[in-house]
Chains A and B, each alone.
Chain A
Amino acid sequence: MRERSLLDLDDLTSDEISYLMQRATAFHANPPGRDLLRGVTVVNLFFEPSTRTYTSFSIAEARVGADVVALPPGSSSLGKGETIEDTALTLAAMGVKVIVTRHPESGFPYRLADSFAGHVINAGDGSHAHPTQALLDLLTIWTEFGRLAGLKVALVGDVLHSRVARSNVIGLRRLGADVTLIGPPTLVPDAMAGDGVHVARDLDAILPQMDVVMLLRIQRERIAAAVLATLDDYGRSYQLDARRLGSLASHAIVMHPGPYNRGVELTDDVLGYGGWRYAQQVSHGVYVRMAVLDFLVNGRA
């Protein structure tokens, strides 16, 4: 039987998401010691540069006592024409139990998981999914409000190209939050609307009603691709600045998956805002990843 993997948040029930958040919180309060994954070999197979996710996974793996091998980008034979299934067979034959992978193509972890006799954790695939980022975001919101059901959450910016946004939408809907996607139609197409997922264009009209505002990274390449005009023009409609912060409800929090562009999707005013939760998100990332590793390898505690 195929071992359980975490490829996107729809691999988890809402109950399992809640469990993982509680488990991460428990690990935060009481470090579990290094026996949880003793003797388990984990490979970090990253085909794309990553600082925070890579480091966060590495720390999490160390804290649960796994034996970790990192394959830096470019070192894999996949680049030399080996098929995905042959890579999976090779790693499994070496006794690798868990592969944590990031890849620029959407779907790579699915193709890997279909051939690998072990657990695959998706650390970000193309524009598709980033489930552990979404889990740490959900945990940040849950820690703040004690619930997700009924909360109003806005995702602002380049939703179309954001794996963080996609996984968050799945998780937020699974736990009963109400989601609004905001940006120009080239970054937030009308077709992204769905059950409990609204598409809006007017950030100023939306902000006062939101409990959570998640900003997404704007990439400058989008200007050359003609999906975005100037950064200044984007900012006029969608940058979170002092004036827009002033329109937020007093309890509202602001999040960003990082790395954020000062002066683009946010101004420095956001970094001094009382509800800015970026540091908590990063901190939660380590505990969520510990919980995911433990859950996939050992099952529920």
Chain B
Amino acid sequence: MSEVLVRGGRVVDPSQGLDALRDLRLRDGVVAEIGEHLEPGDGEIVDAGNAFVAPGFIDMHVHLREPGQTHKETVATGCAAAVAGGFTAVACMPNTQPTLDTPALIAQVKRLAADAGLARVYPIAAITRDRAGVELAPFRSLHEAGAVAFSDDGATVASARVLRQAALYARDVPGVFISHCEDADLKGEAVMNEGERSMLLGLAGEPGLAEEIVIARDLLIAGDTKKPFHIAHLTTALGVELVRFARARGFAVTCEVTPHHLLLHDDAFVRFRADAKVNPPLRTPHDSEALRAAVRDGVIDALASDHAPHAREEKVQLLADAPVGFSGLEIAVGAYAQALPGLPLARFVELLSLNPARILGVSGGTLRIGAAADVTVFADRPWRVQAARFHSKGKNTPFDGLTFPRQALATIVGGAVVMEGGSIRSRAKTNRE
């Protein structure tokens, strides 16, 4: 019998239209009771005074690097970063070494996550074997092993024929197709957005067109095949319009944006350092403004960090050689609030919890009685990003040193408090005792 009482917080749960001061009793891994002034039991008490209590945040786009690149991150360190940032669950991309394209590898990731005993981990399996864009991955077996979605991630499926066949073949297998939209040929050797900035710096740039042309293709394939598609990390104003178009036609499509595309632009390349190198690249102020507006007007379904940790010695290389991406889990909640001031809290929670759960078809996203006791407690308290103190092995972020207005205070997974006030406690260790 384990019990946790989350006391004195403003409970924001759009799944049941709740936004009120309530206490929350969690018992045996599920939500047991919501009410005003609940009597403390014999369990732990989490003080949520002057804070918000929400169904656990789910980051549906992270890279955990294991197996194969454990110098960048492990499932355990990635999960520590997740719960430190207020996330009770993450969905991890299959661009590991080897690629997550067999049931055994999916099972391995889930076992590593269980051993870590922190966040829930939902593996995303590849669409094509070895993400090579040629042969189809075994969708049904991958689903049965625990894969919740399918994506070739940064290795965009180049052939429209292969992607269409995959979507048709996998239509009756649960699991959305997640599209990282970049045409490799149009991208070429680009290290940043193509525009005035790339021309001033003499750097190869990727036009927004490289992304939009694939978004359009994948949305049309979604419409044609009736397979649900999720467009990862939208970056351009026109990309938003394409999603709007597809949705107006009734296609089953959803989409996400990242903290960096909401907040940063292609002027972030300080002295040719690679801190801000990411795929797709940071675009223009016009684009990020359009993304922020799209979050507010409902086109965007989810916020996702694209947490992509790398070792320091990799990221300090020259722009052309340095890998793309940076750690995002531990800055995400603060960065979203910074990008979207005044966004109604119910919408904030919907974007971070309810919608990712629905898109992925996983539990969570709600605090209804009997639901899994995954809870995020957060507050509007300014804090300063200190990348050197990340739990993630990747200490790189273009946001280092900035102050953000919102932070996670406690993270509860399956009724166990795994993060409180920044310190982390594994469920696995508790269970062993």
Contacts and interface: CB of A to CB of B under 8 A. Distances in A.
Interface string B184-215: 00000000000110011111000000000000
B319 interface: yes
Interface in A153-180: 160, 163, 166
Contacts of B317: 83
| Chain A facing B: main interface SS | mixed
B318 interface: yes
Contacts of A85: 316
Contact of A128 (B196, B203, B316): B203
Contact of B319 (A105, A127, A160, A194): A105
A107 B271 contact: yes
A290 B202 CA distance: 27
Contacts of A110: 271-272
A194 B319 CA distance: 26
A107 B274 CA distance: 11
A166 B202 CA distance: 8
Q: Which of the listed residues B200, B313, B316 has the most CB atoms from chain A within 10 Å of its own CB? A: B200
Given A107-B272, A111-B272, A114-B271, A160 B199 contact: yes
Interface in B164-200: 195-196, 199-200
Q: Which of the listed residues B196, B199, B313 has the most CB atoms from chain A within 10 Å of its own CB? A: B199
Interface string A78-115: 00000111000000000000000000011110110010
Given A106-B272, A107-B272, A107-B319, A191 B202 contact: no
Contacts of B196: 191-192, 194
A111 B201 CA distance: 14
Contact of B273 (A105, A106, A111): A111
A126 B271 CA distance: 14
A270 to B, nearest CB: 27
Interface residues of B, number: 16
B271 A127 contact: no
Contacts of B273: 111
B320 interface: yes
A192 B203 contact: no
A191 B201 contact: no
A216 interface: no
Given A83-B316, A85-B316, A191 B271 contact: no
A72 interface: no
Contact of B202 (A84, A111, A163, A194): A163
A191 B199 contact: yes
A196 interface: no
Contacts of A129: 202
Nearest to B272: A107
A108 B317 CA distance: 10
Interface in B118-133: none
B199 A128 contact: no
Contact of A107 (B199, B203, B313, B316): B203
A189 B201 contact: no
B427 to A, nearest CB: 39
A125 interface: yes
24 contacts: A83-B313, A83-B316, A83-B317, A84-B316, A105-B318, A105-B319, A106-B203, A106-B272, A106-B319, A107-B203, A107-B271, A107-B272, A110-B271, A110-B272, A111-B271, A111-B272, A114-B271, A126-B203, A127-B203, A128-B202, A129-B202, A166-B202, A191-B199, A192-B199
Given A107-B201, A126-B202, A160-B199, 12 more contacts: A83-B316, A107-B203, A107-B318, A108-B272, A110-B272, A111-B271, A111-B272, A111-B318, A127-B202, A127-B203, A163-B202, A192-B196
